A = this chain, B = another copy of it.
Amino acid sequence: MKQFNWKLLNKSLVSRARTGVITTPHGKVNTPAFIFCGTKAALKSLNSKEAKESGTQIILSNTYHLMLQPGGEIIAKHGGIHKFMNWNGPMLTDSGGFQIFSLGYGSVAEEIKGRNINNKRNKSLIKITEEGALFKSYIDGSNQLLTPEKSISLQRQIGADLILVFDECTPFHVKKDYTALSMERSHRWSKRSLETFQIEGDYGSCNGSAGKQALYGIIQGGIYQDLRDISISFNLENNFFGLAIGGSLGSSKEQMYEVVGYTASKLKADHPVHLLGIGDTKDIWKLVKYGIDTFDCVSPTRLARHGVALSKKNNGKINIKNASYREDLFPLEDTCSCKTCVNYSRAYLHHLYKANELLGFQLLTLHNVYFMNALMLLIRDAINNDTLEEAEKKWYLT
């Protein structure tokens, strides 16, 4: 029996929107889907049982963070990350490239939000060579070299179902020449990632890892259509299970839509397409129409820690610390069926944040996770019925 499979279910007649199913040894992912960030092998303040009960299909973890703490070997000794963190569903790990370069340069999100990333904050990247990336550990300051071979070995030890090639996440504020050179190097790194994967792939697992894995390639090329074309050709020529859209997505939302729209339009139905690091609700409504199958973003859990609940109204967000919620007996969202909305008032949640109670993070995170999963379910239903435009309008009204 084939352990990994990508099956297209329905395609919209009016856009490139589509539904599908990614099958993994740890279960299926109905797409379009949101992948929640369990960065360090834990969803921030939510246990895996509650994540599951809130509709979560798939979680990602970050190779960069896990290699520094606790290290791949300890996870392998547990039989892989699923057992380590008690999550029996599908998982994805990134290659570590994104964190090295986003912490080294400044993040994609900062670029898209137009922030100047030329400040010296968090510059942990020491140098990039053909071999790999040398950076400073934020745990103990030690020098660490991450190469394509090491990234794949680590991801083998960690044992997520879906894993990524090692790449340089090129920043926006570089010349086109650099973007092209960086892309070519990332392609060579992709080849080395794939070779390492194929050698070890024969074993199905490595060093006590959890089982078989499938590899995603990453499409580079920054904001340049000709470079994106080259990278798409490269990735399609190689034997990747899935494709991720990576690299610089520009410096504004509009540019990001343009880059993602162009890139996705060149892809066929053969691979599930993941968009790295983007996941605002408005972006999701927009980008599923371009044919994006999976999204990931830290925002649902990060916003919760800042007291922000996702909402259909209020321009998408409720800041529960706002004094206006002090005596508000209503739930966060009156149309939401999550345990937080069913059992607690805004006034109680406001109180928890005022009183610095950890339970506040837990209850808002649960809402935000449920909210994103409910949104994706609704989007899948709408694509299957080819009513996506109407569903989007209705969603903002109710």
Using a CB–CB cutoff of 8 Å, the interface residues on chain A facing chain B are 40-47, 49, 65, 69-70, 74, 77-78, 84-86, 326-327, 329, 339, 343-345, 347-348, 350-352, 354-355, 357-363
Contact B85 A42 (CB under 8 A): no
Q: Which 6 A-B pairs have the closest CB atoms?
A: A45-B358, A86-B343, A40-B355, A70-B351, A42-B359, A42-B357
Contact A47 B347 (CB under 8 A): no
Contact B362 A41 (CB under 8 A): no
A42 to B361, CA, bound (A): 12
Contact B65 A355 (CB under 8 A): yes
Contact A358 B355 (CB under 8 A): no
6 other A-B residue contacts (CB within 8 Å) besides A45-B359, A78-B347: A40-B351, A42-B357, A44-B359, A70-B351, A84-B347, A358-B358
Shortest distance from the beta carbon of A323 to any chain B beta carbon, whole Å: 12
Shortest distance from the beta carbon of A89 to any chain B beta carbon, whole Å: 14
Contacts of A86 in B (CB 8 A): 343-344, 348
Shortest distance from the beta carbon of A51 to any chain B beta carbon, whole Å: 10
A362 to B84, CA, bound (A): 16
A45 to B354, CA, bound (A): 15
Contact A42 B339 (CB under 8 A): no
A41 to B356, CA, bound (A): 12
A198 to B43, CA, bound (A): 50
11 residue pairs A–B, Cβ–Cβ below 8 Å: A40-B355, A40-B357, A41-B351, A42-B357, A43-B359, A44-B359, A49-B339, A65-B355, A86-B343, A86-B344, A358-B358
Q: Contacts A65-B355, A339-B49; is A41 near B348 (CB within 8 Å)?
A: yes
Contacts of A351 in B (CB 8 A): 40-41, 69-70, 74
Q: Contacts A47-B363, A74-B327, A362-B47; is A354 near B84 (CB within 8 Å)?
A: no
Shortest distance from the beta carbon of A54 to any chain B beta carbon, whole Å: 13
Complex: chain B residue closest to A301, CB-CB = B358
A329 to B75, CA, bound (A): 10
Complex: chain B residue closest to A366, CB-CB = B47
Shortest distance from the beta carbon of A302 to any chain B beta carbon, whole Å: 12
Shortest distance from the beta carbon of A61 to any chain B beta carbon, whole Å: 11
A85 to B43, CA, bound (A): 24
Contact B43 A347 (CB under 8 A): no
A357 to B327, CA, bound (A): 31
Contacts of A347 in B (CB 8 A): 70, 74, 77-78, 84
Complex: chain B residue closest to A363, CB-CB = B47
A339 to B47, CA, bound (A): 11
Q: Contacts A77-B327, A355-B40; is A45 near B362 (CB within 8 Å)?
A: yes
A354 to B359, CA, bound (A): 21
